Structure 1
């Protein structure tokens, strides 16, 4: 009888001590974001499935993308260089970072990142979750550190709630910062240009000039700018004028191979009309300048792309052909993609 009484007392004390304790924060409904993924796009980057965009993950990532606390002196953010109205590029020949410091290369556009296998001009990052650390620590870009950024975000009373909604607890960590930024960038899908509307057979058609340009593009350009992303995601030396900075060796900076000297990732041509200037360090002010350069002849090199070598180091074009190709390239513009929030 005494044993039963003791057991009852222990159970009473256990429930009495726990029933009024808080149960923790209410779980937040954070659904996976429904993205429009075109059926003809290349496969998703493998990292995507490990970090699928969610409603609040993307919202947090977008806020962090525009957060000036990411820079060492709180003056610029990722969005300072990656401007939506310019297809998340800018109009500088080379990136301009903290204190007006000039970077080594042109700012690449951020679009359709979920389908890319490599990031940055030399492809030294294979996932967006790891790419963000590069601009954070680079002297000519944000010139900060992830620990410094975490400290600043912890001092901002808004962020613990935002991190809780995105990740289930208020902890602000490097991994969560990288993951939310990547989720936002994964959500930046551009697939609603006039070209896409024509391909969808929805009643939209090319003009005669655009049709001629498309035929010429497939003949003269599509060897490199293939797939629905308008890049084959390879690295090529196409004989562009060389960056005078001795640190620039292109893809060889990553691989250490002579064969990769001055090879750069073939850029996507989607929204190309918005992203001037062109080239790895903004060598060309206009798309016409690029076509003129290919027509007149490129710089020779032992590892010059075989397609150019086989064609006398050039891509010959008449002035009318250039006009037609430019007309086609303008159909790759996606006005909805570059439209900022009202």
Structure 2
């Protein structure tokens, strides 16, 4: 009996020592240091649950460019979100597999870490819930997340990257969403001429750009405020209505009549690269947008008060339009749209 008790004691002691000496498997995957621009709004709170890491971002970029996420292996995220267009494209409305036409213009992907809403109608509040939408949408990739996983699950490159990014080789939907979001969080644009002038890094506005800056503050900044050049609100500004009867703007999310044809105010950063403009590419050029606002917009019960109080228009002279466009082009971040590859 004594020997039995002694053996049990020794086993417990060995187990205790083993636990003390246990060193869990670790992997080197440091967080990415982001250059957060001064005066930018707060980060989206979900960012802190999925902070970008070295390999998370690397994996996310690879998946962002992966055409096998689509059912016929022809369309990736980067097919519509092209870097040279500030991660938008040149089509009036997004085009998916087999030339299928979607509902809306492809929005640019920039400074998403600071956004509180995603998509034209703000249907997503968390960036990590966004990647599934294009994968399963009929007019976009028309696939499923399980189908996409099946195509890459046995590839050594992906197995290794998933391990480096998340500590194990398992490929799951959540890891795909999180890594794509981590990559997108790093797409920060804040190095335009406007930014450099503001930071006193050399250079000044031309006379026309300076005049445009003043006009912008007077007639545009109430909606396109903050350093993101959007206040992230939802507004009906009387743009031509999408003939697609599936469109309802923000009302598609809320179900409220007062949100009919309200859309999230788009950022104006890099706007020089993101034509055409409007929720379904109604306008080919910035000049067309300003001409429309000057002539008068469509009336609506929920038309934005700024327009209602000003006879449904934003009056602009031709010289003011030219000056405004000159200023807007100072928001172009050449480095951001230039590929390093």
TM-score by length of 2: 0.94
Listed one character per residue, the Cα deviations across residues 28-59 of structure 1 (whole Å, up to 9, x for unaligned) are 21100000001200011010000000000000
Once residues 263 and 242 of structure 1 are traced to their aligned partners in structure 2, the CA distance between those partners, rounded to angstroms, is 11
Once residues 282 and 4 of structure 1 are traced to their aligned partners in structure 2, the CA distance between those partners, rounded to angstroms, is 82
Q: What does 1:168-183 correspond to in 2, within 5 Å?
A: 168-183=167-182
Once residues 130 and 223 of structure 1 are traced to their aligned partners in structure 2, the CA distance between those partners, rounded to angstroms, is 30
- Structure 1 counterpart SS, 2:93: coil
Name 1:310's counterpart in structure 2.
309
Name 2:261's counterpart in structure 1.
262
**Structure 1 position 5, deviation (Å):** 12
Q: What does 1:140-179 correspond to in 2, within 5 Å?
A: 140-179=139-178
Once residues 105 and 85 of structure 1 are traced to their aligned partners in structure 2, the CA distance between those partners, rounded to angstroms, is 20
Instruction: Call closer, same or farther: CA 1:49–1:5 in 2, change over 3 Å.
Output: closer
Q: What does 1:43-54 correspond to in 2, within 5 Å?
A: 43-54=42-53
Once residues 331 and 162 of structure 2 are traced to their aligned partners in structure 1, the CA distance between those partners, rounded to angstroms, is 36
The count of corresponding residues between Structure 1 and Structure 2 is: 334
**Structure 1 position 133, deviation (Å):** 1.2
Name 1:109's counterpart in structure 2.
108
**Structure 1 position 4, deviation (Å):** 8.3
Once residues 245 and 184 of structure 2 are traced to their aligned partners in structure 1, the CA distance between those partners, rounded to angstroms, is 31
Name 1:3's counterpart in structure 2.
3
Once residues 305 and 5 of structure 1 are traced to their aligned partners in structure 2, the CA distance between those partners, rounded to angstroms, is 82
Gaps of 5+ in 2: none
**Structure 1 position 156, deviation (Å):** 2.1
- Structure 2 counterpart SS, 1:331: helix
**Structure 1 position 2, deviation (Å):** 8.4
Listed one character per residue, the Cα deviations across residues 218-250 of structure 1 (whole Å, up to 9, x for unaligned) are 001111000000000000000000100001010
Q: What does 1:9-158 correspond to in 2, within 5 Å?
A: 27-158=26-157
**Structure 1 position 68, deviation (Å):** 0.6
- Structure 1 counterpart SS, 2:269: coil
TM-score by length of 1: 0.94
Q: What does 1:216-235 correspond to in 2, within 5 Å?
A: 216-235=215-234
**Structure 1 position 24, deviation (Å):** 10
**Structure 1 position 341, deviation (Å):** 2.1
**Structure 1 position 203, deviation (Å):** 2.6
**Structure 1 position 142, deviation (Å):** 0.7
Name 1:210's counterpart in structure 2.
209
1:243 counterpart = 2:242: yes
Once residues 247 and 151 of structure 1 are traced to their aligned partners in structure 2, the CA distance between those partners, rounded to angstroms, is 32
Once residues 279 and 104 of structure 2 are traced to their aligned partners in structure 1, the CA distance between those partners, rounded to angstroms, is 6
* CA RMSD, 1 decimal: 2.0
Once residues 194 and 162 of structure 2 are traced to their aligned partners in structure 1, the CA distance between those partners, rounded to angstroms, is 39
Gaps of 5+ in 1: none
Name 1:330's counterpart in structure 2.
329
Which range is displaced more, 151-160 or 283-292? 151-160
